[in-house]
């Protein structure tokens, strides 16, 4: 999320500290609230975790494999980029498991947008890793056949898991809840009611 968008979610106010009687600065959340499709999320979470573990296993297996492609300048960067997707994917999964029925824009960014971005990172990194490895082998630079094949297969598995992750993240529908009216009344949507503003002391 851009800094300008992040700052737009909060409004700075001053209120009296009940303990000291002095004014203090607080940041009041004024952004929207969101709701995810809970059944779809419960179904997707274990599958996302299984895919994340599969990519982790492929990454470690490739790293322990003896292959000349590991040191190729147009293969190694994409192999290393997979680690970024794994880290962001783990963060998004952690947020998904702790997600409340209603959440703010920050949680939406940290969970669903980060998860989708991480899945695309894994997909592109794995695909380019595999393509670069194929080019490397076609140029006749390969070494041990078993090691080179294992390294290539790990790249293909990573790309396939990234593709499945993108589909799973997109399968969970997220909708924005109605906001309050000008007179302060809460506007409900079915059985869902928007939460009151959140205050954070600065």
Q: What are the tens digits of pLDDT across the range 80-111?
A: 999 999 999 999 999 999 888 888 888 888 89
Do residues 107 and 191 share a domain?
no
Do residues 38 and 22 share a domain?
no
pLDDT at position 195, please? Answer: 41
Q: What is the CATH number of the domain that holds 160?
A: 1.20.120
Instruction: Reply yes or no on whether the pLDDT at 156 is more than 90.
Output: yes
Q: With beta carbons less than 8 A apart as the criterion, state whether 157 and 54 touch.
A: yes
Do residues 142 and 73 share a domain?
yes
pTM of the model: 0.77
Total domains in the chain come to 2
Angle of helix 114-138 versus helix 38-64 axis, rounded to 10: 30
Do residues 81 and 162 share a domain?
yes
pLDDT at position 190, please? Answer: 34
Do residues 22 and 74 share a domain?
no
Instruction: Reply yes or no on whether the pLDDT at 198 is more than 80.
Output: no
In DSSP terms, which residues pair with 50 in a beta bridge?
none
Q: Give all strands (DSSP E) within the chain, no chain letters.
A: 10-16, 23-29, 33-36, 102-104, 174-176, 188-189, 192-193, 199-201
Do residues 38 and 82 share a domain?
yes
Q: What are the tens digits of pLDDT across the range 33-69?
A: 888 899 999 999 999 999 999 999 999 999 998 888 8
Range of the domain at 26: 3-32+181-201
Q: What are the tens digits of pLDDT across the range 4-41?
A: 776 777 778 888 878 887 888 888 877 788 888 999 99
């Amino acid at each position: 999320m851009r800094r300008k968008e992040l700052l737009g979610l909060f409004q700075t106010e001053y209120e009296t500290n009940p303990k000291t009687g002095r004014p203090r600065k607080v940041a009041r959340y004024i952004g929207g609230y969101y709701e995810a499709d809970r059944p779809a999320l419960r179904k997707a979470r274990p599958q996302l975790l299984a895919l994340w573990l599969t990519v982790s296993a492929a990454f470690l297996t490739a790293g322990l494999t003896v292959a000349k492609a590991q040191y190729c300048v147009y293969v190694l960067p994409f192999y290393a980029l997979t680690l970024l997707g794994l880290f962001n994917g783990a963060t998004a999964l952690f947020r998904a498991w702790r997600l409340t029925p209603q959440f703010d824009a920050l949680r939406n960014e940290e969970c669903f947008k980060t998860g989708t971005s991480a899945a695309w990172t894994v997909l592109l990194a794995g695909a380019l890793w595999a393509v670069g490895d194929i080019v490397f082998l076609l140029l006749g630079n390969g070494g041990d056949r078993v090691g080179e094949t294992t390294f290539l297969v790990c790249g293909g598995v990573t790309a396939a898991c990234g593709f499945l992750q993108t589909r799973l993240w997109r399968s969970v529908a997220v909708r924005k809840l109605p906001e309050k009216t000008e007179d302060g009344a809460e506007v409900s949507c079915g059985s869902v009611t928007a939460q009151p503003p959140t205050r954070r002391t600065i």
